[in-house]
Amino acid sequence: MENPSFQKATDLLKEKLPDSVMTGPDELAPYAYDGSKLAFTVDALIRPQKESEIGQVLELANEHKVPVTVRGGGSSLTGSASPFSGGWVLDLSSWEGISVNRAAGMATVQAGAKIADIQKAAEAEGWFYPPDPSSHRYSTIGGNLACNAGGMRGGKYGVTRDYVLALRGFLPTGEAVRWARPLRKYAAGYNFRDLWVGSEGTLGVIVEATLRLVPKPKARWTILACFESEAKALDQVKLLWEQQVIPSITEFLDRESVSCAERATGAEIFAGQKGRPVLLIELDGHPAAVEEDRQQVLAILGKSSLAWKEAADENEAQSLWEVRRKCSGAMFELGDAKLNEDVVVPLERERELIEFTRALSQEKSLPIAVFGHAGDGNFHVNIMFYRDHPEQSANAEEAVQSLMEKVLQLGGTISGEHGIGLAKTPFFAMEHSPAEIKAMEAVKKALDPQGILNPGKLFTPYEVWRHRPVKVRLPWDHK
């Protein structure tokens, strides 16, 4: 217990909810940080046994001005679930209930339901929940809603926000609220449902969500193709969209990412085409529609790619995925630290982004590997460096700054799916005007007058927090 000012409130909380509050150092330690490895002090961990306890926790936190960080799977990559200001961590990860309404094509899920479990439950009833973050096995719907999580299928299917019909939860003051209803249409009043989506746990606590499902695709087809250059690969994505062929997945890997995957597998992806950039394309839908689009994809790739492999069945599709699965972890051969940015640019400017990252890599003498979801312009730009090398660390920081400037100049955004948290606060004011930030801060003040919910996120200047975190290593670091 490091913050004496929260001691009294924590004692009161333990009296009220003795079975739900933990304060042992070993119990608190895993909740001091999230996937960003930015670690802070935790004063108490709360695992509510009943929904009404959440309201009680927030009421007490308000009375004593104790910060509360809501937590799902703790996989945030930006520090949005790291308890920056100490206080209490409200862990909802064990609230995992899922109920699929087959007739209505909806799923009502508790905040801690894992994305993979929601997908499985939907598919068991012939439906499909498309958002598919790579963290689907351990990230929760509460966290996905709070960060408006994306994934590989965004180009065709959109992101988490596009699937939420209704939310239930608590205001920071502890009052229970429902935003919209489990209906296909809703137009009664301000849309606080969408305001909570992407608010990174700063405006309310989500307890339950009703999600829209879509019919499960009856057919799927996968192809991997390599190209002479990144520009050539990305031109084909543009061409597909111009011809209104919208793959469910269009993953792009630049030459650095492909080389990483090749080193990890010990083999060339395409014999004689070492380190060539690739596109991994997946089509899904009705079999006749998939076949029609397949012909168009083959016609386009036939004119532009150096080589390709089509998957004849699910096993072959899985082996084509190997390059994408292996590349990210294999980047740690290029440095022991990675700044993984998740920028988005307009489809027609993707080429410019990749050309820029190549030049940036040369200018800063750092490996930069880019892969990502070319169907929606969302690229993971991975800047690799060695932590203990001061010049490299400084160059990596400068590279991120230049990248963000370029992305905004291209008409893009600094985050497509990871959110702002703490890591991207230095760039928030580059993307938003003072008037926009003032409006957001006014909303925060109105809903959370004591500023208890996840304080410090989104708006805190980097200079304020950069010297506070303690770095730790997480299990998925080198995967």
Ligand X SMILES: Cc1cc2nc3c(=O)[nH]c(=O)nc-3n(C[C@H](O)[C@H](O)[C@H](O)COP(=O)(O)OP(=O)(O)OC[C@H]3O[C@@H](n4cnc5c(N)ncnc54)[C@H](O)[C@@H]3O)c2cc1C
Binding site residues, ligand X, CB under 6 A: 34-35, 69-77, 80-81, 92, 111, 133-135, 139-140, 142-144, 146-147, 149-151, 200-201, 205-206, 417-418, 454, 476
Q: Which 8-state DSSP code applies to residue 65? A: T
- Taking a C-beta distance cutoff of 8 angstroms, is the pair 107, 114 a contact? no
User: What is the smallest separation between the CB atom of 319 and ligand X, expressed in angstroms?
Assistant: 21
> Closest-CB residue for ligand X?
143
Task: Dig out the tokens for 36 from the structure.
Answer: 């960003």
User: What is the smallest separation between the CB atom of 339 and ligand X, expressed in angstroms?
Assistant: 14
User: What is the smallest separation between the CB atom of 231 and ligand X, expressed in angstroms?
Assistant: 25
Q: Name the strands in the sheet holding 68-71, side by side, starting at the edge strand that comes first in the sequence.
A: 21-22, 44-46, 88-91, 68-71
User: What is the smallest separation between the CB atom of 136 and ligand X, expressed in angstroms?
Assistant: 8
Closest CB to ligand X among 70 and 237?
70
How many Å apart are CA 294 and CA 278, to the nearest integer? 17
How many Å apart are CA 93 and CA 81, to the nearest integer? 13
Closest CB to ligand X among 192 and 270?
192
User: What is the smallest separation between the CB atom of 218 and ligand X, expressed in angstroms?
Assistant: 25
3-state secondary structure of 380: strand
Would you tell me how many other CB atoms lie within 10 Å of the CB of residue 443?
Answer: 14
Rounded (to 5) percent helix, strand, coil in the chain: 40, 20, 40
Q: Which residues lie across from 224 on neighbouring strands?
A: 280, 309
User: What is the smallest separation between the CB atom of 50 and ligand X, expressed in angstroms?
Assistant: 15
Closest CB to ligand X among 80 and 460?
80
Would you tell me how many other CB atoms lie within 10 Å of the CB of residue 391?
Answer: 12
CA 10 vs. chain centroid, Å, equals 32
Closest CB to ligand X among 434 and 475?
475
Instruction: Give the max Cα distance, the chain.
Output: 71
User: What is the smallest separation between the CB atom of 294 and ligand X, expressed in angstroms?
Assistant: 26
> Residues 128, 132, 135, 141: is their CA dihedral positive or negative?
negative
Closest CB to ligand X among 88 and 127?
88
User: What is the smallest separation between the CB atom of 417 and ligand X, expressed in angstroms?
Assistant: 3
How many Å apart are CA 99 and CA 441, to the nearest integer? 36
Instruction: Please report which helix (H) or strand (E) contains residue 222, including its range.
Output: strand 219-226
Closest CB to ligand X among 111 and 334?
111
User: What is the smallest separation between the CB atom of 326 and ligand X, expressed in angstroms?
Assistant: 14
Closest CB to ligand X among 147 and 344?
147
Which residue type is seen at 428?
F
Closest CB to ligand X among 144 and 382?
144
Closest CB to ligand X among 95 and 427?
95
How many Å apart are CA 229 and CA 338, to the nearest integer? 24
**206-237: b or e for each residue (b if 16 or more CB lie within 10 Å)?**
bbbbbbbbeeebeebbbbbbbbeebebbbbbb
- Reference 161, options 199, 198, 215, 114; nearest CA is 198
Closest CB to ligand X among 144 and 305?
144
User: What is the smallest separation between the CB atom of 167 and ligand X, expressed in angstroms?
Assistant: 9
User: What is the smallest separation between the CB atom of 99 and ligand X, expressed in angstroms?
Assistant: 17
- For 5, list phi and psi in degrees, rounded to 5: -70, -20
3-state secondary structure of 185: coil
Closest CB to ligand X among 110 and 259?
110
How many Å apart are CA 97 and CA 99, to the nearest integer? 7
User: What is the smallest separation between the CB atom of 351 and ligand X, expressed in angstroms?
Assistant: 23
> Which residue's structure tokens are 């062929």?
245
What are the distances in angstroms from CA 14 to CA 4, 23, 176, 226, 333?
15, 9, 22, 59, 47
Task: Dig out the tokens for 153 from the structure.
Answer: 């299928």
